[in-house]
Amino acid sequence: MKILITGGSGFIGTNLIEALRKTNAKLLSIDIAAPKLEQHRSIWHQVDVRDKAIITEEIRTFSPDYVIHLAARTDLNGKTLQDYDANMQGVSNLLDALEQVPNLKQAVFASSMYVCEPGYMPKDFEDYAPHTLYGESKVETERRIKERNPKYTWSIIRPTSIWGPWFGEPYNKFFHIVLSHMYFHMGKRACKKTYGYVDNAIYQIMSIVNADAEKVNRKVFYIGDYKPYDITEWANEIAKEAGIWIPRIPYWCFKCAGWFGDLLKKFGIAFPMTSFRLHNMTTDNVHDFEPIKSIAPNLPVSRIEGTKRTLDWIKNVENKQK
């Protein structure tokens, strides 16, 4: 079995390759960036998904049985939609290239939960409500896949807030805020959000790959942990493992900090809190996992265990940097 992973040097890609290296699959990772782990270099080819000629040649030569498309620009710093062309033109180039693979069985394309703003519950998978340019680019990504409607089995995944070893900005920010004693409980406010430990996300992705075609073909799946996180509870779990106590301060202090952060942002100065971030932090954002749960019923890692593994990984990274 030959599996192509685009974006294999990224956070989810790194964890996915680590899992697949334990199987007998032949792997090819293509990414514009070098791998995070030295042992992945032997299967990595440096490829920009926006370069149609190169990605077409790579795919034609490798001729994969399965494709897991993770390559994307995921930050929120772009100024125009074109800044996220890796997401839009990248998927168009990939779709064109895959038409030249006669033995292709299946492709899984990564989108994002940010095709809808936090708190918005879509009526169906054609209902979009993005609130960022990144989210808009992922809406366009989905539309291009659906309009092409390839003949091979294909699925779209919408990762929620996935976390764990090898994560980076902005996904690691919550851990680092807690660990640096900069996290405070917001009075009596608490919200529930969908997060997902990365090993559980990998299990869900591979469950899609291994499922019968009729269960996954032309379908969209949110991926993440099935039970919503109470953010106050999770922060306390992280703090307890790290030997930290989290104080509670009035919510109005956060409102003032958000306004102050907005002001500093106008002068190009970064600040941990803005009104945009405060809105995201205090808005419930829970997704429907029944579709993916039907084919991936038993997540392998609990939140507590995932938190311990992630804190151990952070500690190891910090020790190596000293």
Cα 201 to Cα 47, 124, 208, 240, distances in angstroms? 25, 22, 11, 25
pLDDT confidence of residue 90: 98
Reported as a single tens digit per residue, the pLDDT across 234-285 is 999 999 999 999 998 888 888 898 899 999 989 988 887 788 877 777 777 7
Q: What one-character-per-residue DSSP string does 107-131 give?
A: EEEE--GGGB-TT---SSTT--B--
Cis peptide before 170 (omega within 30 of 0): yes
Quote the CA–CA distance of 209 and 274 in Å, as a whole number. Answer: 40
Query: Which residues have C-beta within 8 Å of that of residue 94, sequence separation ≥ 6?
Result: 6, 49, 55, 59, 67, 69
- Counting DSSP H helices and E strands in the chain, the numbers are 12, 13
Burial of 319 (0-12, 13-18, 19+ CB in 10 A): exposed
pLDDT confidence of residue 318: 72
Here the tokens at position 39 are 């042992």
pLDDT confidence of residue 321: 65
Here the tokens at position 35 are 């791998």
pLDDT confidence of residue 255: 86
pLDDT confidence of residue 183: 85
The lowest-confidence range among 19-23, 221-225, 228-232 is 228-232
What's the N-to-C CA distance of the chain in angstroms? 41
What percent of the chain lies above the pLDDT cut of 70?
98
Cβ neighbours of 300 (radius 10 Å): 12
Quote the CA–CA distance of 133 and 80 in Å, as a whole number. Answer: 7
Query: Which residues have C-beta within 8 Å of that of residue 8, sequence separation ≥ 6?
Result: 14, 16, 17, 29, 30, 31, 35, 40, 43, 44, 70
Quote the CA–CA distance of 135 and 145 in Å, as a whole number. Answer: 16
Reported as a single tens digit per residue, the pLDDT across 55-108 is 999 999 999 999 999 999 999 899 999 999 999 999 999 999 999 999 999 999
Between 177 and 201, the more confident residue is: 201
Phi/psi for 295 (5° steps) reads -115, -10
Please determine, for residue 307, whether its predicted confidence score (pLDDT) is greater than 70.
yes
Give residue 166's Cα distance to chain centre: 12
Quote the CA–CA distance of 79 and 72 in Å, as a whole number. Answer: 16
What are residue 223's DSSP bridge partners?
159
Per-residue pLDDT, averaged over 4-18, amounts to 98
Cα 81 to Cα 140, 283, 287, distances in angstroms? 10, 25, 26
State the chain's mean pLDDT as an integer.
93
pLDDT confidence of residue 104: 97
Please determine, for residue 190, whether its predicted confidence score (pLDDT) is greater than 90.
no
Quote the CA–CA distance of 81 and 87 in Å, as a whole number. Answer: 10
Per-residue pLDDT, averaged over 173-192, amounts to 84
Please determine, for residue 188, whether its predicted confidence score (pLDDT) is greater than 80.
no
- Which of these, 46, 52, 86, lies nearest to 69 by C-alpha position? 86
pLDDT confidence of residue 322: 58
Query: Which residues have C-beta within 8 Å of that of residue 84, sequence separation ≥ 6?
Result: 73, 78, 133, 134, 136, 137
Here the tokens at position 18 are 């680590």
pLDDT confidence of residue 173: 85
Per-residue pLDDT, averaged over 139-145, amounts to 98
What are residue 195's DSSP bridge partners?
161
Between 138 and 76, the more confident residue is: 138
Per-residue pLDDT, averaged over 158-173, amounts to 90
What CATH number does the domain located at 2-159 have?
Answer: 3.40.50.720
Phi/psi for 251 (5° steps) reads -65, -35
Per-residue pLDDT, averaged over 117-122, amounts to 87
pLDDT confidence of residue 96: 98
What percent of the chain lies above the pLDDT cut of 90?
77
